[in-house]
Amino acid sequence: MIAVPAPVAQPRALPDWRQSLREAVTDARELLALLGLESLAGRLPGDDAGFALRVPRGFVARMRHGDPRDPLLLQVLPQLAERADVPGFVADAVGDLAARSAHGVLQKYAGRALLIASGSCAVNCRYCFRRHFPYAEEIAAAAGWREALAQVRADAGVREVILSGGDPLVLSTAKLAEFGSALAAIPHVETLRIHSRVPVVLPERVDDEFCAWLAGLPLRRVVVLHVNHANEIDGSVRSACARLRAAGAILLNQSVLLAGINDNADRLAALSDRLFDCGVLPYYLHQLDPVRGAAHFAVDDPRASGLIEALRARLPGYLIPRLVREIAGAASKMPLQGP
């Protein structure tokens, strides 16, 4: 008898990510209509406060129909509360402009250089600390990454390069590959880290071409996802995580603590659990950066610390994210003290 190998399940072809990106919902009324929430349209702000609504349809499909408090919807829907002028909530909340070392390069912490890889994201999150960042002038990928690469090359202390938001994965794989080869030729760089929400909101972006590129990089690879609620993770995200891991990436997650979305121990525990199921470990739980227009998402420090204590009482240590805050001028993200 000849042993016949078991048939290998052919993965279904992924949708074309560029098309998914183009077809993202950008109109708040359409978003509400898709969710059967037309009646809320009257409560929308008259304009988008200079930060457009943008959400891929695959992410909308994970929102609960008819639920105005859906935790995914609340992350993307413009609210009247964004108009509130709250003292302490400012445009450049984390001192990004002061940390700029070259075009599109931020250096705040030892050994790491963070590149503002692109000017846009696949989703626009209302709480985003970069909603007021002057992207148009500060994109590392512009002009063939030349300035950013020159800065990294010139600074032998940089061991890790972080591609961050605007989301690096809205760039073409060809554009990333151009960067990757130049980066790999810099002897002191050991690690490439990618901060991206795209594998979550547009998992089809993690396609064969991208994974082949990532797998072939002669660098240590870390992908830090950004998931705030377990409902963001469906089978398509789980598969994207599997593909990233198969390409040799260590997967971590950062979340932002958001009032009404994940400021509850059950929800945070469910998130850690769902992440672990996808081979992703929780890394940071960020206290909201005090950015103008986002004050309604803030959770105070005692409550935030209390939530972490509650998680500690029920989860293994490796499923507890580090609760941190970014402080302009500090040498690292700052851990919050326990209660």
Cβ 206 to ligand SF4, closest distance in Å? 15
Shortest Cβ distance from residue 292 to ligand SF4 (Å)?
A: 14
Is 250 a residue that touches ligand PLP (CB under 6 A)? no
CA angle 50, 105, 95 (to 5 degrees): 60
Picking from 152, 144, 154, 220, the residue whose alpha carbon sits closest to that of residue 179 is: 144
Q: Which among ligand SF4, ligand PLP, none contacts residue 112 (Cβ within 5 to 8 A by kind)?
A: ligand PLP
With CA atoms as reference, report the closest residue to 280 among 232, 211, 212. 232
Give the shortest CB-177-to-ligand PLP separation in angstroms. 23
Q: Does 296 bind ligand PLP (CB under 6 A)?
A: no
Q: Which does 238 bind (CB under 5 to 8 A by kind): ligand SF4, ligand PLP, none?
A: none
Cα gap 293→332, rounded to integer Å = 25
Closest CA to 32 of 56, 62, 67, 80: 67
**Binding partner selected for residue 123 from ligand PLP, ligand SF4, none, CB under the kind-specific 5 to 8 Å limit:** ligand SF4
Q: Which does 81 bind (CB under 5 to 8 A by kind): ligand SF4, ligand PLP, none?
A: none
Q: Are 222 and 192 in contact (CB under 8 A)?
A: yes
Tell which positions 318-337 bind ligand PLP, by CB under 6 A: 332-333
Q: Which residues contact 59 (CB under 8 A, 6 or more apart)?
A: 72, 76, 123, 200, 201, 202, 232
Q: Which does 128 bind (CB under 5 to 8 A by kind): ligand SF4, ligand PLP, none?
A: ligand SF4
Strands (E), the chain: 100-102, 105-106, 112-116, 160-164, 191-196, 220-226, 250-256, 281-286, 322-325, 334-335
With CB cut-offs between 5 and 8 Å by kind, which of ligand PLP, ligand SF4, none does residue 108 bind?
ligand PLP
* Rounded least distance, CB 316 to ligand PLP, Å: 21
Among 28, 162, 206, 275, binds ligand PLP (CB under 6 A): 162
Question: Which spans in the chain are helix H?
Answer: 17-22, 28-34, 57-60, 73-76, 146-154, 173-184, 198-201, 208-216, 235-246, 265-277, 301-312
- Least distance to ligand PLP from the beta carbon of 188, Å? 16
Residue 78 binds which entry of ligand SF4, ligand PLP, none, with Cβ cut-offs from 5 to 8 Å by kind? none
Token pair 């909530």 is at which residue?
89
The binder of 124, among ligand SF4, ligand PLP, none, by C-beta within 5 to 8 A per type, is: ligand SF4
What would the x/- binding string for ligand PLP be over residues 84 to 123, using CB under 6 A? ---------------x------x-xx--x-x---------
Q: Cα separations (Å) of 172 from 17, 301, 331? A: 10, 40, 33
Q: Nearest-CA neighbor of 74 among 270, 231, 205? A: 231
Residue ranges that bind ligand SF4, judged by CB under 6 A: 121, 123-125, 128, 130, 165, 167, 197, 226
The answer to whether the beta carbons of residues 270 and 232 sit under 8 Å apart is no
Nearest residue (CB) to ligand SF4, 166 versus 189 = 166
Distance CA 101, CA 96 (A): 10
Task: Kindly identify the residues of this chain, within the stretch 205-234, that bind ligand PLP according to CB under 6 A.
Answer: none
Which CB atom, from 125 or from 275, has the smaller least distance to ligand SF4? 125
Write out the residues near ligand PLP by the rule CB under 6 A. Answer: 99, 106, 108-109, 112, 114, 162, 332-333
